[in-house]
């Protein structure tokens, strides 16, 4: 396991993508998947009325940040629930402009 006991993995979000090793890119991708899963969870909690307005606002900010990370687009959910997929499609897409 490349991450077991590897404290350097904690710094991957601060490294330039083009300068990362393959293991660091994998770690950054796994972090990105975790973040997308958290946002999807918040999306469903909001639909159930369980999310405060402040948490929803913060989640929207994070969702826009995640979607704007073009180099990590491969880690974006591809088989998301249709409602969450529609939500993602409604966000601005800076990567499409490139």
Would 1 be classed as within a structural domain?
Answer: no
The CA angle 39-71-47, to the nearest 5 degrees, is 15
What is the model's pTM?
0.82
- Show the domain range for 15: 7-90
Residue range 66-71: average pLDDT?
Answer: 92
Would 96 be classed as within a structural domain?
Answer: no
For residue range 15-47, list pLDDT tens digits in order.
899 998 888 888 899 889 999 999 999 999 999
DSSP 42-88: HHHHHHTT-S-HHHHHHHHHHHHHHHH-GGGGGGS-SS--HHHHHHH
Q: Could you tell me what percent of the chain has a pLDDT over 90?
A: 56
Domain count within the chain = 1
Would 97 be classed as within a structural domain?
Answer: no
Choice among 7-16, 40-49, 64-73, 85-94 with the minimum mean pLDDT: 7-16
Query: 63, 41, 38: which is closest to 50 by C-alpha?
Result: 41
The token pair at 86 is: 């529609």
Would 2 be classed as within a structural domain?
Answer: no
The token pair at 28 is: 């950054």
3-state percent helix, strand, coil for the chain, nearest multiple of 5 = 70, 0, 30
């Amino acid at each position: 396991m490349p991450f077991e006991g590897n404290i350097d993995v904690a710094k991957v979000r601060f490294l330039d993508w083009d300068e990362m090793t393959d293991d660091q890119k994998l770690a950054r991708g796994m972090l990105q998947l975790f973040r997308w899963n958290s946002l999807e969870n918040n999306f469903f909690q909001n639909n159930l009325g369980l999310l405060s307005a402040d948490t929803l606002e913060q989640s929207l900010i994070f969702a826009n940040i995640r979607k704007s990370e073009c180099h990590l687009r491969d880690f974006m959910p591809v088989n998301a629930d249709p409602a969450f997929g529609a939500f993602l499609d409604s966000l601005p897409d800076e990567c499409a402009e490139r």
